[in-house]
């Protein structure tokens, strides 16, 4: 009895929160043949088309620079970027492209930060870097941020939601210190049930970042022209030489 009164009194469920990149996507592996991202020219163009259809207007090409896995150099990335821009123009894909990199937090990155030999992109001159994801705060983090702070760049920490060390009380104190030092935070977008704010370890991290107003950029971290865009679980290392311009 009076069940309809209870139903009328119910508030409709709030839609789930999501994170979606703004018109610019600051993290995508769209240069082909360099890392675990795009493998061919056609695959790279398909990824650009997918991002364009999904609302992106600017895409930062951020291939890995990782001494042990993907020993790319800024010059190598510049040549590949020129090839991608020519391919984009030929395919008439209406996207602005920026050249950056996803640096791994290691000694080589610290050395590059000290020397200033870095790929920075966009009006904020972002330098995107990723840290180890384990439970321990990376030992090189302070050293790298100090070196970056002496350069006319803005450090951008990649996919912050992944770092287990950042989810602890000590980790949150570290994040506060990083923001005070000028580091900005990037998270990966919500795709299906992945990175849903409040759901799972990563989702709870994203929700807490949202509540703090600590999400500065959202990226796709796209590696493949698919909905989730994830790479192969066991990627083949990049070839020793770049493919010729226009070659698949």
pLDDT one digit per residue (tens) for the chain, 248 residues: 334 333 444 444 455 678 886 799 999 999 999 999 999 999 999 999 999 999 999 999 999 999 999 999 999 999 999 999 999 999 999 999 999 999 999 999 999 999 999 999 999 999 999 999 999 999 999 999 999 999 999 999 999 999 999 999 999 999 999 999 999 999 999 888 888 899 999 999 999 999 999 999 999 999 999 978 877 654 444 443 333 333 33
Within a 10 A sphere around the Cβ of 187, how many other Cβ atoms? 28
Please indicate, yes or no, if residue 178 is contained in any of the structural domains.
yes
Answer whether residue 240 is part of any domain. no
Q: Is residue 35 part of a domain?
A: yes
Helix (H) or strand (E) holding 127: strand 126-130
Q: Which domain holds residue 24?
A: 16-219
On whether residue 95 sits in a domain, the answer given is yes
**Phi, psi dihedral angles at 102 (to 5 degrees):** -110, 100
Q: Is residue 132 part of a domain?
A: yes
In a domain, 244, yes or no: no
CATH number at residue 23: 3.20.20.140
| 248 in any annotated domain | no
Number of domains in the chain: 1
Asked if residue 218 lies in contact with residue 209, where contact means CB atoms within 8 angstroms, the answer is no
**Residue 226 resides in a domain:** no
């Amino acid at each position: 009895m009076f069940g309809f009164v209870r139903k009328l009194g119910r508030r409709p469920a709030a839609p789930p929160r999501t994170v979606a990149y703004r018109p610019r996507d600051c993290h995508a592996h769209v240069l082909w043949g360099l890392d675990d991202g795009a493998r061919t020219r056609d695959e790279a163009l398909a990824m650009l088309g997918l991002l364009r259809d999904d609302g992106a207007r600017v895409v930062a090409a951020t291939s890995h620079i990782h001494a042990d896995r993907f020993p790319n150099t800024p010059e190598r990335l510049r040549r590949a970027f020129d090839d991608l821009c020519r391919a984009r123009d030929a395919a008439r894909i209406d996207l602005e492209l920026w050249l950056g990199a996803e640096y791994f937090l290691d000694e080589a990155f610290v050395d590059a930060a000290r020397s200033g030999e870095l790929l920075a992109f966009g009006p904020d001159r972002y330098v995107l870097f990723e840290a180890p994801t384990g439970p321990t705060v990376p030992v090189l983090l302070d050293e790298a941020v100090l070196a970056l702070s002496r350069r006319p760049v803005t450090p951008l920490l990649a996919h912050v939601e992944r770092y287990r060390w950042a989810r602890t009380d000590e980790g949150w104190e570290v994040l506060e210190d990083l923001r005070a030092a000028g580091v900005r935070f990037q998270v990966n977008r919500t795709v299906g049930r992945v990175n849903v704010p409040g759901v799972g370890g990563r989702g709870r991290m994203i929700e807490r970042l949202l509540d703090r107003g600590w999400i500065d950029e959202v990226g796709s971290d796209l590696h493949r022209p698919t909905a989730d865009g994830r790479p192969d679980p066991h990627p083949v290392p990049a070839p020793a030489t770049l493919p010729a311009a226009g070659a698949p």
